Amino acid sequence: MSGEGPASTSCCGGCGGQGVEGRNTHSPSWPGVSGPSVAARAGIGGPDKPGHDEGAGACAGACGCAANGADHAPTATSDHAPTATYQNRRGELLHYFDRTAVDAWKRLTSDAPVNRIRATVRAGRDEMRNTLLSWLPTDLHGKRILDAGCGTGALSVEAARRGAHVVAIDLSPTLVELARERLPKDLGDGSIEFHVGDLLDPTLGRFDHVVAMDSLIHYKSRDVMRVLSGLAARTDGSMVFTFAPRTTLLTLMWTVGKLFPRGDRSPAIVPVGQRKIKRRLNKGLASWHTARTHRISRGFYISQALEVVRT
Ligand SMILES: C[S@@+](CC[C@H](N)C(=O)[O-])C[C@H]1O[C@@H](n2cnc3c(N)ncnc32)[C@H](O)[C@@H]1O
């Protein structure tokens, strides 16, 4: 699968308005991420082991990210300050999504023809995006939405079309630039503000809803919990995100992925048991509880959506 681009379990797929101003309006300064902030106003992804909660799956597709680590040492002092594992993985994901897999990712997220494997990933991702969007209020006028790990921005566009002001952030300057280029002229009353940086940057402000589609699947579950806990403190309504469910197929893919040379692999995904993640969230997030969940399994795309709402 190496060289095939997007083809994996909820993995990156790399292994598998009007008046876009394109000016910098925000410079996320959260520890460990640098790079230009691109804001466009419209209308205006260690020692991972499989089969364990902290274990890792791996997409069997094209990868090859060298951990380039974080650019700066952490300086934040809050409980939500990034851990070393989070920063290392973030560095790998930045390299992967901004370099290694960027062309495959561009293609996967376009209408260009793709092979059968990638077509399953694309179909699964479309279904997942629709699922997550269907869990948000139909009318999003007046709502601030965080698209955490927005990639090329497809979900942001749909949310903005329903009236939301979307804050869309991604580590990859290249993907954010592409999202900005792909922005449709007419977003109705909605708007999108693009940023390059870390989805947990507190300077992004408060939100009514947070959506994180396949952006947390590469992080260890304790880091995912820290992210959700950090976002929960700044979110008034709900958080919808995906995780990689621990399934036999996913474990198999992890095994196959291990057969590829390190340089051909994407950052590992981390399968999580459904009951465990729900238990942790219900216990760990005061005033929040888990609600809807839905698994999508389409060929090489396996990912599970989970909704967490304020009690
Ligand atoms: C599999 S892609 C999904 C992109 C988009 N959500 C979608 O579904 O089309 C995961 C994205 O999450 C981004 N990402 C991962 N960790 C991030 C972080 N800590 N902050 C911001 N973006 C992150 C990656 O750069 C990548 O573009």
d(CA 222, CA 268): 15
Dist. CA 12 → ligand 1 center (Å): 8
CA dist 57 → 169, 227, 233 (Å): 25, 20, 29
Q: Measuring from atom 27 of ligand 1, which residue has the nearest CA? A: 151
Q: Are 207 and 235 in contact (CB under 8 A)?
A: yes
Å from CA of 97 to ligand 1 middle: 8
Picking from 259, 245, 258, 263, the residue whose alpha carbon sits closest to that of residue 301 is 245
* Choice from 10, 63, 92, 93 to test ligand 1 binding pocket (greatest atom count within 8 A of CB): 93
> pTM here?
0.81
Mutate to test the pocket of ligand 1, among 30, 34, 170 (most ligand atoms within 8 A of CB): 170
Q: Digits of tens for pLDDT over the chain (311 positions)?
A: 333 333 344 444 444 422 222 323 333 445 555 443 433 333 222 223 333 333 333 332 222 222 222 322 333 345 567 899 999 999 999 999 999 999 999 999 999 999 999 999 999 999 999 999 999 999 999 999 999 999 999 999 999 999 999 999 999 999 999 999 999 999 999 999 999 999 999 999 999 999 999 999 999 999 999 999 999 999 999 999 999 999 887 777 767 766 665 555 678 889 999 999 999 999 999 999 999 999 999 998 999 999 999 99
Residues near 79 by Cβ (< 8 Å), separated by ≥ 6?
226, 229, 230
Ligand 1 centre from 32 Cα, in Å?
A: 16
The number of the ligand 1 atom at minimal distance from the alpha carbon of 13 is 1
Closest ligand 1 atom to residue 227 Cα is: 19
Q: In this structure, which residue's CA is closest to atom 14 in ligand 1?
A: 149
Query: If you measure from the C-alpha of residue 169 to the centroid of ligand 1, how many angstroms do you get, rounded to a whole number?
Result: 8
Helix (H, G, I), strand (E, B) or coil at 228: helix
DSSP class of 207: E
Max Cα distance, the chain (Å) = 49
Dist. CA 245–CA 305, nearest whole Å: 9
Rounded Cα distance, 4 and 29, in Å: 35
Ligand 1 neighbours by CB, cut-off 6 Å: 12-13, 45, 90, 93, 97, 149-151, 154, 169-172, 175, 198-199, 213-215
> How many angstroms does the Cα of residue 154 sit away from the middle of ligand 1?
12
What's the gap in Å between 43 CA and the centre of ligand 1?
Answer: 24
Kindly provide the b/e burial profile for residues 58-69, where b requires at least 16 CB atoms within 10 angstroms of the residue's own CB: bbbbbbbbebee
CA distance 55 to 49: 4
What is the model's pLDDT at position 265?
A: 63
Q: Which domains does the chain have, with CATH numbers?
A: 20-310 (3.40.50.150)
Q: Which residues pair with 144 in a beta bridge?
A: 165
State how far the Cα of 97 lies from the Cα of 91, in Å rounded to an integer: 10
**Residue in this structure with the two tokens 């795309």, named with its chain if needed:** 301
Report H helices in 57-195.
84-95, 102-108, 116-134, 154-161, 173-182
- Residues in the chain, overall count: 311
How much distance in Å is there from the Cα of 199 to the middle of ligand 1?
A: 9
Q: Which are the contacts of 164, defined by CB distance < 8 A and separation ≥ 6?
A: 140, 141, 143, 144, 145, 190, 191
